[in-house]
């Protein structure tokens, strides 16, 4: 036997049907809109990452070719100045906490790491960073190449290998990261770099909290144009040695 509905009951059932259908359609539309937004954002991030990597490879390779004579002369000077290897390889922390071997020209005596404990009381830097203006562990050649940032040139090979970028927050030591607060860890959200806002704003003359703020500022505004501007500003900062020791 078929149930017969009155006019009012039939209207209410039809209304409830379309209301439920509209809710489902709205939920579907909302999911599609969100998926489109996330897809567009992901595509934008991927494009920017590919563009930044291409920029690093091209400029990094050109920089290696241009600075190769300087690197060869520096290697010879280090070898003649003090016993020990030309390069200093140190474990640093990169993007999202991944570690990698950072390359530098050796600017200190070979026992520098062992002597650090006895110099802790002389630390002039704030936060989980160790810096001394007249560090007795630095060699004669080391003082020159640190002042001119020549000791950082081997990191161009870190850039070509993909460990680092030309521009980004400086890679910290694992012991420093162990002391980081959640705010400090924001420095690890991008690939570390050879230069960044900190390098062109006084370097060692900037306290650690301000340093972190500069790195976060870079991360939030990261773009290829900003990288180019910072690289250009790095040249006079290196030549005048502001805040380098």
Per-residue H/E/C for 140-163: HHHHHHHHCCHHHCCHHHHHHHCC
Would you say residue 91 has pLDDT above 60?
yes
For the four alpha carbons of 147, 89, 74 and 167, in that order, the dihedral sign comes to negative
Token pair for residue 226?
């900003």
pLDDT band at 4 (very low <50, low <70, confident <90, very high): low
Going by their DSSP bridges, the two strands 165-167 and 99-105 should be labelled as unpaired
Contact residues for 46 (Cβ-Cβ < 8 A; gap 6+): none
pLDDT confidence of residue 116: 82
pLDDT confidence of residue 1: 47
pLDDT confidence of residue 8: 54
pLDDT confidence of residue 132: 83
Mean pLDDT across the stretch 81-104? 96
Mean pLDDT across the stretch 78-92? 96
Mean pLDDT across the stretch 124-139? 83
Longest C-alpha distance within the chain, in Å? Answer: 107
Would you say residue 164 has pLDDT above 80?
yes
Going by their DSSP bridges, the two strands 99-105 and 87-93 should be labelled as antiparallel
Backbone angles phi, psi at 194, to 5 degrees: -80, -35
Mean pLDDT across the stretch 64-77? 97
Residue with the bigger pLDDT between 36 and 239: it is 239
**pTM score, two decimals?**
0.78
pLDDT band at 5 (very low <50, low <70, confident <90, very high): very low
pLDDT digits (tens, 9 = 90+) for 171-191: 999 999 999 999 999 999 999
Q: What is the mean pLDDT of the chain?
A: 85
pLDDT band at 7 (very low <50, low <70, confident <90, very high): low
Instruction: Report DSSP letters for 90-135, one per residue.
Output: EEEE-GGG-EEEEEEE--B-TTHHHHHHHHGGG----SS----TT-
Contact residues for 70 (Cβ-Cβ < 8 A; gap 6+): 150, 153
Token pair for residue 113?
């790491």
- 19-23, 139-143, 153-157, 164-168: which range is least confident on average? 19-23
pLDDT band at 14 (very low <50, low <70, confident <90, very high): low
Instruction: Show the DSSP H helices in the chain as ranges.
Output: 7-81, 112-119, 140-147, 155-161, 174-177, 208-221, 224-240
Mean pLDDT across the stretch 160-168? 96
pLDDT confidence of residue 81: 95
How far is C-alpha 43 from the geometric centre of its chain's CA atoms? 21
> pLDDT exceeding 90 applies to what percent of the chain?
59
pLDDT confidence of residue 113: 82
Would you say residue 45 has pLDDT above 80?
no
């Amino acid at each position: 036997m078929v149930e017969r509905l009155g006019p009012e009951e039939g209207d209410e059932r039809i209304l409830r049907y379309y209301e439920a259908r509209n809710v489902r359609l709205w939920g579907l539309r909302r999911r599609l809109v969100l998926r489109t937004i996330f897809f567009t954002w992901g595509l934008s991030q991927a494009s920017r990452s590919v563009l930044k990597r291409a920029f690093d490879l091209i400029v990094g390779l050109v920089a290696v070719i241009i600075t190769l004579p300087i690197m060869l002369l520096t290697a010879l000077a280090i070898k003649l100045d003090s016993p020990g290897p030309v390069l200093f390889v140190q474990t640093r922390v990169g993007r999202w906490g991944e570690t990698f071997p950072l390359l530098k020209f050796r600017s200190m005596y070979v026992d520098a790491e062992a002597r650090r404990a006895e110099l802790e009381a002389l630390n002039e830097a704030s936060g989980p960073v160790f810096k001394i203006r007249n560090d007795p562990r630095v060699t004669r050649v080391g003082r020159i190449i640190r002042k001119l940032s020549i000791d950082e040139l081997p990191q161009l090979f870190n850039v070509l290998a993909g460990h680092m970028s030309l521009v980004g927050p400086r890679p910290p030591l694992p012991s420093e990261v162990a002391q980081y607060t959640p705010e400090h860890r924001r420095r690890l959200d991008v690939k570390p770099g050879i230069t960044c806002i900190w390098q062109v704003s006084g370097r060692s003359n900037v306290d650690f909290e301000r340093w972190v703020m500069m790195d976060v500022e870079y991360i939030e505004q990261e773009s290829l144009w900003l990288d180019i501007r910072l690289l250009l500003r790095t040249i006079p900062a290196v030549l005048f040695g502001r805040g380098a020791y």
